[in-house]
Structure 1
Amino acid sequence: MTTSDDTTFRPNRRGILAGLAVVLFAPNVMRAADDSTTGGKPADSKSAVAEEKAEDAPPLLSGNYSKERRVFRTDLVNKGPAPDIYEPLVTPPTADKLFYRSGAGGELELVAWVSKYTRERTLKPAVVFLHGGNAIGQGHWQLMKPYVEAGYVVMIPSMRGENGQKGNFSGFYDEVADVLAASNRLRHLPGIDPHRLFLAGHSIGGTLAMLTAMSTKRFRAAAPISGNPDAYAFFSRYPQDIRFNTKNPREFQMRSPLCYAHSFRCPMKLFRGTEEAHFDSRLALLAKRATAGGVKMDMATVPGSHNSALPGEIEQSIRFFENVAT
């Protein structure tokens, strides 16, 4: 498991989060996500360019990701909480706090925020949104307003080791199990339509959305936003965040959607900001590999940076979900 260095974009994740809070009127969001360029460094830096070369891409493996997860166990050599500074888990006024269980035997009781809603005869669609960074904050919740206004019930789950909760941070692996557990809790809530359950995520959450969408059929569609599909590149920039055994290449492969691009189990739309050109080669390769494997996958760019493009990307994800559901 990894120290989860949000590597390819982390240099200044905490400052970035603060920046997201200012730009998007979201106060006290701790580290909105993996920086915006490749690891917080200018996207045109020599190291960033080198990392983006197609020949450096991780291999495409033949296995099915969901089946591989059943047998693979990450080897955490450094156990502990998520690396980000965090704010108290105070439930936003427009949300309800919900507990869900994850981990072996359900030993972890973790917090998720779910938008307040009234149960009606007609079942409601729902969105699981995976926050950027490795801590949940009030600012993340404020960004969910467009989903709620569009008629969706929204859940933002916190993950193991985040915000002072129990569990060991692994960086893109055991956290997928948390997302699966949280989404299973959401789809069984009264008044929720389990056939209209959608998935989205930003930055670190975008990568987790990819890995989750390869792990289950329960989502109608998924919209990863500014997620890095290459764990090798991501962790290479921030090795201090790695918690897993780096001598085992499987640790990186099981955290890299590029290695199992044919395993996505729902229609996908990948989003990035126009100022995030460093994502182009990896996302294009992901789409090429996925479509060759029969996956429905599109890409879209929205004006702005890693953080400033997010509101527009959320709006477009809503239109994508609506088109898939009709």
Structure 2
Amino acid sequence: MRFLGISLLSFACLGLGSPSAFSQTPTTFREARKNHKTNLFYAPESPPSSTFDLVHYASPLGPMSAYVTPDPSDGKKHPAIIWLVGGLSNSIGANLWEDGEPSNDQTASAYRKAGVIMMFPSLRGGNDNPGHREVCFGEVDDVIAAAESLSKLPYVDPERIYLGGHSTGGTLALLVAGSTDRFRAIISFGPVHTVAGYGQEVLPFDATDTQELVVRAPIACLSEIQSPTVVLEGTENGNIESLELMRKACQNPQVKFHSIPSATHFNILAPFNDLFARKILKDTDPTPELQLTEKEILDTVKLLSPEK
């Protein structure tokens, strides 16, 4: 028996199951290729309507996807946070509304659960967006554009928009902070001081070009940050050396560094995001106040979950 010119044995070897599930129209492999329109998983998944809306914001390169908390329909203007996830994909997906493990909750769900409006923007080259990944360069402009879009939502207080991120997202958050004073305050978990350590294999530019590295280096922009900024990392692993290098280099009183005892690059997230969410809700005075006290740090360390 033949199907599309391919034997049953071929289907079995490819793990394709029964050929009956496939279109009976083409009779050869070449015809099948010619007639088939592939369906790729680049577009972001549709979120649960009670959790996020899938929207598009106007970036310098064109429309880009984002997840945003829906309108609470209470007639109020709420504080909001743009959250930048770790990794280099520049994409968003279903993991952002799934419950994260307390020992590694990269969803930052504490904010939306507390009533803070959340926005997860995808960036250039991610999902089905225009452009290419630039690793912490053009993405800065995308984040600023996302904030502009977020500020226009009728249920968002445009004067109380925060920026946060973890790992590569934390690195990008610092670069954004050095490029604009648009955000009320910035929270950066586990950033690096330079992307040079990522390695040429993942960097889309010449990693030996000093200028390419400088414009992507948080350590180079610390003196120009104007918004209150909190940088923190666990002492147990991750990018603690980068934090200490930036702490030593920084003389800007707007930027505070915290090495969190007993915490790791991942289990630091859940309890400290919960703390920041509560602080954002109380941060209503004209002067932003998001900095951490020593007591707050020690009390929150007690809530750390062991990594699995």
Is TM (by shorter chain) over 0.5? yes
d(CA) in 2 for partners of 1:145, 1:126: 13
Give the equivalent residue in structure 2 for 1:122.
Answer: 76
Match of 2:92 among 136, 142, 145: 136
Deviation of 1:214 after TM superposition, in Å, equals 1.1
Alignment of 1:212-227 (within 5 A): 212-227=176-191
1:89 is the counterpart of 2:50: no
Alignment of 1:219-298 (within 5 A): 219-232=183-196, 234-235=197-198, 238-276=199-237, 279-290=239-250, 292-298=251-257
Deviation of 1:179 after TM superposition, in Å, equals 0.6
Deviation of 1:265 after TM superposition, in Å, equals 1.8
TM-score, normalized by length of structure 2? Answer: 0.69
d(CA) in 1 for partners of 2:255, 2:191: 18
d(CA) in 2 for partners of 1:199, 1:128: 5
Classify the secondary structure of the residue corresponding to 2:82. Answer: strand
Classify the secondary structure of the residue corresponding to 1:224. Answer: strand
d(CA) in 2 for partners of 1:288, 1:210: 16
Classify the secondary structure of the residue corresponding to 2:221. Answer: helix
Classify the secondary structure of the residue corresponding to 1:176. Answer: helix
User: Which structure shows the higher helix fraction?
Assistant: 1
Contact 2:116 2:277 in 1 (8 A): no
Identity of aligned residues (%): 29
Deviation of 1:244 after TM superposition, in Å, equals 1.6
TM-score, normalized by length of structure 1? Answer: 0.66
Alignment of 1:103-182 (within 5 A): 103=60, 107-133=61-87, 134=89, 135-142=91-98, 143-182=107-146
Give the equivalent residue in structure 2 for 1:314.
Answer: 273
Classify the secondary structure of the residue corresponding to 1:317. Answer: helix
Contact 2:163 2:173 in 1 (8 A): yes
- Unaligned regions of 5+ residues in structure 1, if any? 1-84
Which of structures 1 and 2 has the bigger CA Rg?
2
- Unaligned regions of 5+ residues in structure 2, if any? 1-39, 99-106, 286-308
Greater length-normalized contact order (CA 8 Å, ≥ 6 residues apart): 1
d(CA) in 2 for partners of 1:302, 1:155: 30
Contact 1:141 1:156 in 2 (8 A): no
d(CA) in 1 for partners of 2:206, 2:241: 27
Deviation of 1:255 after TM superposition, in Å, equals 0.5
CA 1:275/1:320 → structure 2, altered by over 3 Å: closer, same or farther?
A: farther
Deviation of 1:261 after TM superposition, in Å, equals 1.4
Deviation of 1:177 after TM superposition, in Å, equals 0.8
d(CA) in 2 for partners of 1:181, 1:96: 18
d(CA) in 2 for partners of 1:246, 1:130: 23
